[in-house]
């Protein structure tokens, strides 16, 4: 392997690395000109790579400080990732997270979360985000939401009304009820950086792809600084 290349955030075999790099080259060629910065494009490209949908070239929107905030949180070490669903936590590479000392957290299936959602007639996703905030996990965290629009709407409320300050919110819930609206709400927030997909499209795999892209850029910075 090229010793000037990433190690932790790359595929583990030469064949796997070649396929991934060839895929990225194809995406670069087919995407053509775009409006993303050199720091933003690796995130969008990996999202396209995750499901072969070039519409994310355009639908993906960034707070001006999003990439730098995400990289700072990763390079700091020990940053929590708070997800709306277990699928995000399972989808993230354990070895890549371990390299940066990152922990993952999700509360959607916790008994107390379910009970509180039933008692208050809200969603489990809302209560899961409230639980994360009560535990002090949201401040300084990377928050990844790929499934539940109500979770993203609650994160916006927690930011505005209760002073929650995540390092970065990756808001990409998929769906037909409140999904587009939840992302538009997040994109109105100025005090907390965000990455969103406009409209109905989204999903946990795209949150995972965005985080993996940031981990890759973070490793390159870490290596170049060594």
* Residues belonging to the active site: 49
Residue 172 CA to residue 60 CA, distance in Å, equals 9
Q: Tell me how far the alpha carbon of residue 198 is from its chain's centroid.
A: 14
Residue 193 CA to residue 56 CA, distance in Å, equals 19
Q: Which of 54, 1, 62, 49 is nearest to 31 (CA)?
A: 54
In which element (H, E) is residue 39 found? none
DSSP string, 63-124: -TTHHHHHHHHHHHS--EEEESSHHHHHHS-HHHHHHTT-EEE--TT-HHHHHHHHHHT--H
Tokens of 85: 């669903």
């Amino acid at each position: 392997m090229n010793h000037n290349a990433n190690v932790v955030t790359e595929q583990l075999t030469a064949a796997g690395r070649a396929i991934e790099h060839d895929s990225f080259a194809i995406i670069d060629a087919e995407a053509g000109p775009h409006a993303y910065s050199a720091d933003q494009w690796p995130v969008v490209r990996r999202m396209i790579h995750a499901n072969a949908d070039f519409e994310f070239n355009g639908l993906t929107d960034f707070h001006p400080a999003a990439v730098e905030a995400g990289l700072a949180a990763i390079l700091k070490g020990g940053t929590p990732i708070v997800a709306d669903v277990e699928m995000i936590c399972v989808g993230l590479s354990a070895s890549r997270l371990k390299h940066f000392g990152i922990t993952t957290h999700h509360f959607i299936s916790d008994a107390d979360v379910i009970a509180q959602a039933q008692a208050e007639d809200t969603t489990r996703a809302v209560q899961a985000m409230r639980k994360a905030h009560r535990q002090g996990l949201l401040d300084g965290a990377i928050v990844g939401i790929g499934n539940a629009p109500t979770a993203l709407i609650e994160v916006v409320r927690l930011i505005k009304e209760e002073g929650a300050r995540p390092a970065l919110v990756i808001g990409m819930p998929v769906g037909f009820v409140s999904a587009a609206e939840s992302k538009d709400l997040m994109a109105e927030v100025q005090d907390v950086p965000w990455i969103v997909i406009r409209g109905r499209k989204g999903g946990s795999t795209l949150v995972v792809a965005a985080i993996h892209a940031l981990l890759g850029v973070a490793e390159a910075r870490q290596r170049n600084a060594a």
